[in-house]
Structure 1
Amino acid sequence: MARRRPPTTHGTVIVDKPAGPTSHDIVGILRRRFGERRIGHAGTLDPSATGVLVVGVGHATRLLRFATAGRKHYECEIVFGVATSTLDDDGARVATWTMGISPEDVATAATRFVGTISQLPPMVSAVRVGGRRLHEIARAGETADRSPREVRVNEFDVTPTDDPLVYTATVECSAGTFVRSLGADLGTALGGGAHIRSLRRTRSGSFTAAEAAPPSEAELLGMDELVRDLHQIALTSTEVGAARGGAHLAPSRYDGDGPWALADAHGTLVAVHERAGGRMKATVLAG
């Protein structure tokens, strides 16, 4: 008798990642919880970092790229006068400075990093070079040539604490921004060095920490959550069948630049349409 396959699970999970496990560890926990192998996340968090980790389950993994592109919000502390091997407090001290800085000095220096800036990916990041992640190369005691990349920092606010060398920071930035590099570069700009600690992602796109829960408790939501920030198109009954078959809609139905999330009268996601290379592309999600 043929063995019956377990039912497939599809959806979105908004996790409040604790400090300690890697983002991949969180995926493993959810695979066991939901009995589904196809699980991925939108935007890696370092093991010591906490906060919003958006996860796609089953067919929803096809939609993760639409959730990855949104702006990210972070909170952390910047510790001036000490540089570490990992640019955060997980690493070993590699240099120290005696730094006399004022709140005005720090705030003024921080403005230099607002806007479109160039960052060199840290050797402890998950960026791939030659098919290997930089942190894997670093653990092997090797180095790799890295190319700077442009990112966008919309907000970089720093606030003094009772310790004159420790500041809290809030950052709003584009996907792919390295907050630990912001902290280290700010220290360099002030004539010394710095590292960050207590990094927390409070928002990823429109997903907030208020919606998130620990990986053992986070609720499985609908796949449509991953495309809630896209332009929405409510389909007619005739359009539903056509969209499920991969057909495009009439040009007048597309407002803006896209991508567009197409849903039926019940709000159930049917497909995502986007323009690629000047042509319309249909990502069909329901058969």
Structure 2
Amino acid sequence: MNGILNVLKPAGMTSFDVIAVARKITQQRKIGHTGTLDPSAVGVLPICLGNATKAIEFMIDKDKVYRAEMTLGVTTDTQDSSGKVISSHPVDVTNNEIVDVCKSFIGEIAQLPPMYSAIKIGGKKLYEIARQGETIERQARNITIYDINVIRIWDDISIFGENSSTVQYATKKVLFDVHCSKGTYIRTLCNDIGEKLGCGGHMSFLVRTRAGNYDINSAFTLEEIMELAKENTLSSKLVPVESVFRDYDKVQLNEADTAKYNNGVWIKYTYEKENKNVNKRVYDFKGVFLGIGEVFDDGRGTFLKSKKFFRG
């Protein structure tokens, strides 16, 4: 089974939990996901099966779109609603101020990864260190926020704690869509927006609506995937791996060049005169997708060589 399965990850499961369930359903040994989602988050999690796992390195770099709910007035140690409250402040800001501050984060910004994350420093994951009550120095990373669209703002009461120890806080909720680059932590974005507003904030809900070329409208729940497997129709729902590279120009080789390309031989590139030094979607003379090729000029002429081979 080769291809990409667009999974709708449920809340309460890690991305690796989803992989484990998908592996059991598909009986597929070669399987991997294209970017983790926090256990509390839901949404698009493309999973690669078989030879499509070779495309993961290309898919991780793609941009993402999220719908998030931000709660202003309360900060937590995890920057989301699963953590412990570390501060609370009155939300004395107008809706226009909230929108303006959200918009101020559009562009390339430096973001400090949260302690509760899977990033490894010194061989240990940050969340493992955080659970021991420690905080260590992290390096800020450059990320890009392409757009933020505030959908709705409303007053609310947020409750933290359990049973008799619950505490209520007067807060504002902000529902917004954000289009961002890989490596962006939306809970950190919420925390930073709250900090800039002077009242603090955290992420109270998150759904990933798009990851690269795959959106939530075409995603399958794990229950739907189980039913498709029982009906032996799951293979028909897999997205061909070539869809990852739909923005690349297509090159279809003749029969002689197909044989050379399949054997790793550089091909004298005569298929077009423009667009040198770029990647191409390469197909054999019968129209079968072979993989990604790189067009380059080495001084002796222009050639095409295989960069990633997917067939076989």
* TM-score normalised to structure 1 length: 0.88
TM-aligned CA deviation for residue 238 of structure 1: 2.7
TM-aligned CA deviation for residue 50 of structure 1: 0.8
Larger radius of gyration between Structure 1 and Structure 2: 2
TM-aligned CA deviation for residue 266 of structure 1: 5.4
Structure 2 letter corresponding to 1:135:
Y
Cα distance between partner residues in 2 of 1:104 and 1:256: 48
Cα distance between partner residues in 2 of 1:265 and 1:210: 34
2:248 to 217, 230, 233: 230
Contact 1:14-1:54 at 8 Å conserved across structures: yes
The question of 1:283 aligning with 2:305 is answered no
1:200 to 204, 207, 213: 207
Q: Secondary structure at the match of 1:116?
A: strand
Partner of 1:145: 137
Percent identity between the aligned chains? 32
Identify unmatched segments of 5+ residues in structure 2.
157-171, 226-236
Q: Secondary structure at the match of 2:51?
A: helix
Structure 1 letter corresponding to 2:24:
R
TM-aligned CA deviation for residue 56 of structure 1: 0.8
Residues 88, 39 of structure 1: alpha-carbon distance in 2 compared, 3 angstrom cutoff: same
TM-aligned CA deviation for residue 43 of structure 1: 1.1
Structure 1 letter corresponding to 2:263:
G
Cα distance between partner residues in 2 of 1:249 and 1:70: 29
Partner of 1:174: 181
- Once the two structures are superposed, residues 58-112 of structure 1 have per-residue CA deviations (whole angstroms, 9 ceiling, x without a partner) of 2211111111211110001110000011111111111100111111101111122
1:214 to 216, 221, 238: 221
Cα RMSD between the aligned structures? Answer: 2.3
Residues 271, 247 of structure 1: alpha-carbon distance in 2 compared, 3 angstrom cutoff: farther
Contact 1:52-1:209 at 8 Å conserved across structures: yes
Contact 1:39-1:61 at 8 Å conserved across structures: yes
Residues 142, 105 of structure 1: alpha-carbon distance in 2 compared, 3 angstrom cutoff: same
Residues 274, 141 of structure 1: alpha-carbon distance in 2 compared, 3 angstrom cutoff: farther
TM-aligned CA deviation for residue 281 of structure 1: 5.5
1:102 to 55, 76, 94: 94
Residues 207, 267 of structure 1: alpha-carbon distance in 2 compared, 3 angstrom cutoff: farther
Q: Secondary structure at the match of 2:291?
A: strand
Cα distance between partner residues in 2 of 1:231 and 1:204: 21
Partner of 1:243: 261
Contact 2:280-2:295 at 8 Å conserved across structures: no
Cα distance between partner residues in 1 of 2:33 and 2:238: 14
Q: Secondary structure at the match of 2:17?
A: helix
TM-aligned CA deviation for residue 116 of structure 1: 0.4
* TM-score normalised to structure 2 length: 0.81
- Once the two structures are superposed, residues 102-125 of structure 1 have per-residue CA deviations (whole angstroms, 9 ceiling, x without a partner) of 111011111221100000111112
| Pairing of 1:71-90 with structure 2 (within 5 A) | 71-90=63-82
Cα distance between partner residues in 2 of 1:158 and 1:126: 29
Partner of 1:124: 116
Structure 2 letter corresponding to 1:231:
D
Partner of 1:261: 281
- Once the two structures are superposed, residues 13-50 of structure 1 have per-residue CA deviations (whole angstroms, 9 ceiling, x without a partner) of 11111111000001101111111222111111101111
TM-aligned CA deviation for residue 248 of structure 1: 3.4
Structure 1 letter corresponding to 2:278:
G
Contact 1:79-1:196 at 8 Å conserved across structures: yes
Contact 2:261-2:306 at 8 Å conserved across structures: no
Cα distance between partner residues in 2 of 1:217 and 1:235: 39
Structure 2 letter corresponding to 1:51:
G
Q: Secondary structure at the match of 2:78?
A: coil
Q: Secondary structure at the match of 1:272?
A: strand
